[in-house]
Amino acid sequence: MAAAPIDLRSDTVTHPTPAMRRAMADAEVGDDVFGDDPTVNALEARAAELTGKEAALFVTSGTMGNLVSEMAHVPRGGEIICGEGGHTILHEAANHAVVVGASMRTLPWGPDGRMDLDDIRAAFRDPTDVHDPITSLVIVENTHSDSMAQPLPPEYIRAVGDVARERGVPLHIDGARLFNAVVALDTTAREMLAGADSASFCLSKGLACPVGSLVVGERDFIWRARRARKMLGGGMRQAGILAAAGLVALSDGPDGMVARLAEDHANARRLAEALATLPGISGLDPTQVRTNFVLFWVGPPGATPTIAHSTAFLAALEAEGVLMIDFHDGRVRAVPHYGITAADIDRTIDATRRALSVAFAPDKELARV
Ligand code: TLP
């Protein structure tokens, strides 16, 4: 039987740890819609405590976490300020428009993933003008995917929160990979979110849980998010089976998965350092690998990289037993995660070298593009 591929498409492909599987098998459960599931209640209490917020809500996914947060913060006809390539605008099936009934006002960001504070100030609409949408929420993504998952520091979150609150508008953090940012900056989730009104973070990415995300914020906000979750059909019953894995991931003990994220960051840096030296790879500065994303362009040396080049490279790489993915702007993405070892990184480096020479051999049509 062929060996399983080294799957670096995303940290969403992680499988639960043995400790999680045991905790899931043994989980005490109840009907969570009645508020009776002790394991869900414990997970929500743990998330609130870790993030320094009043309350938390267990939801099915990061997408649902962001959606119920938007529904809880934003009225129909409201507008959300967010970065132009953010997950909430590009990868959530336009749920802000279809479900929330809101528009998005998108802003550019710098290479470090930050929207300029003056740009944010200028993006607020005039609430006294009958023509304008009602600016109702600012969203910041942390880690910030497009900038190769830069971790944005608590001071920046605080500064954006201050700008938003000057206008009476809350700040939500799409913290799908919040704990990667926390670990990379050697801070705490509490400190990271001190300037934010709400956040969602995923358990099912680098923290390796099979399913789930948490939304955190003030008690009233969480109540509105809970109603929104119900409306979307996301009220689960004996969800403690799933929450049990989350409690393991967020525990302080040896089975906890937060501190372990540093291994993924080290593997990502090592991978990037090797890949950046290969002819055919461009746009990759390994010193910019601060968390678990490695993003780069591929193409024949000297040629302008295109999406067709990425496609050819990814196919050649798959034939070598390694999976990466095309990022939305045409770059290739590799994401080390739980289960990926340093030896897998070495094999990936060799496989990449071979895939580049197959995809961009001088006699290949694509090489002349
Ligand atoms: N991102 C996934 C894909 O959807 C692209 C990935 O593989 O990176 N916010 C951010 C910043 C995300 O990267 C993601 C997932 C989400 C929200 C949504 O989380 P899920 O997939 O749990 O709905």
Does 1 have pLDDT greater than 60?
no
Does 325 have pLDDT greater than 50?
yes
What does the pLDDT average to over 189-194?
98
95 CB-contact burial (10 Å; exposed 0-12 / middle 13-18 / buried 19+) = middle
pLDDT value, residue 133:
97
**Distance, CA 210 to ligand 1 centroid (Å)?**
14
Using only C-alpha atoms, the chain has a radius of gyration, in whole angstroms, of 21
What does the pLDDT average to over 187-199?
98
Q: How many CB atoms lie within 10 A of CB 151?
A: 26
pLDDT value, residue 363:
64
For 97-140, the pLDDT digits (tens) are 999 999 999 999 999 999 999 999 999 999 999 999 999 999 99
Whether ligand 1 lies within 6 angstroms of the CB of 180 is answered as: no
HSE, side-chain direction, 13 A CA sphere, residue 140: 35
Whether ligand 1 lies within 6 angstroms of the CB of 141 is answered as: yes
What does the pLDDT average to over 333-343?
97
**Distance, CA 205 to ligand 1 centroid (Å)?**
8
Quick one: tokens of 274? 């090797």
User: How do 213-217 and 55-59 pair as beta strands?
Assistant: antiparallel
Please tell me the residue having the least CA distance from ligand 1 atom 8.
Answer: 10
Does 231 have pLDDT greater than 70?
yes
55 — phi, psi (to 5°)? -150, 170
Whether ligand 1 lies within 6 angstroms of the CB of 295 is answered as: no
98 Cα distance to chain centroid = 22
Instruction: Report the candidate in 197, 341, 157, 188 with the shortest Cα–Cα distance to residue 250.
Output: 188
CATH code assigned to 6-10+259-368:
3.90.1150.10
Residues 6+ apart with CB under 8 A from 255: 17, 19, 20, 248
Whether ligand 1 lies within 6 angstroms of the CB of 202 is answered as: yes
Per-domain boundaries in the chain? 6-10+259-368, 18-249
Whether ligand 1 lies within 6 angstroms of the CB of 12 is answered as: yes
Three-class SS of residue 35? coil
pLDDT value, residue 369:
46
**Distance, CA 60 to ligand 1 centroid (Å)?**
12
**Distance, CA 145 to ligand 1 centroid (Å)?**
9
pLDDT value, residue 364:
64
Q: E strand or H helix at 138, and its extent? A: strand 134-141
Does 191 have pLDDT greater than 60?
yes
**Distance, CA 65 to ligand 1 centroid (Å)?**
11
Instruction: Report the candidate in 126, 210, 116 with the shortest Cα–Cα distance to residue 163.
Output: 116
Q: Are 69 and 238 in contact (CB under 8 A)?
A: no
How far are the Cα atoms of 81, 287, 297, 361 from residue 274, in angstroms, in the given order?
A: 38, 12, 14, 20
How far are the Cα atoms of 14, 73, 277 from residue 326, in angstroms, in the given order?
A: 19, 33, 20
pLDDT value, residue 243:
98
Cα angle 340, 15, 184 (rounded to 5 degrees) comes to 55
Residue to probe by mutation, ligand 1, list 8, 9, 12, most atoms within 8 Å of CB: 12
For 34-81, the pLDDT digits (tens) are 999 999 999 999 999 999 999 999 999 999 999 999 999 999 999 999
Residue to probe by mutation, ligand 1, list 152, 205, 323, most atoms within 8 Å of CB: 205
pLDDT value, residue 362:
72
Whether ligand 1 lies within 6 angstroms of the CB of 63 is answered as: yes
**Distance, CA 197 to ligand 1 centroid (Å)?**
21
**Distance, CA 191 to ligand 1 centroid (Å)?**
23
pLDDT value, residue 31:
98
Please tell me the residue having the least CA distance from ligand 1 atom 5.
Answer: 91
For 283-322, the pLDDT digits (tens) are 999 999 999 999 999 999 889 999 999 999 999 999 999 9
pLDDT value, residue 368:
47
The rounded distance, in Å, linking the Cα atoms of 280 and 300 is 5
- Average pLDDT in the chain: 96
Quick one: tokens of 150? 């830069």
**Distance, CA 91 to ligand 1 centroid (Å)?**
8
Helix 261-275 × helix 342-359 angle, to 10°: 30
pLDDT value, residue 45:
98
Please tell me the residue having the least CA distance from ligand 1 atom 21.
Answer: 62
| Architecture, CATH, for domain 18-249 | 3-Layer(aba) Sandwich (3.40)
Instruction: Point out the least confidently predicted range of 15-19, 175-179, 361-365.
Output: 361-365
What does the pLDDT average to over 92-100?
97
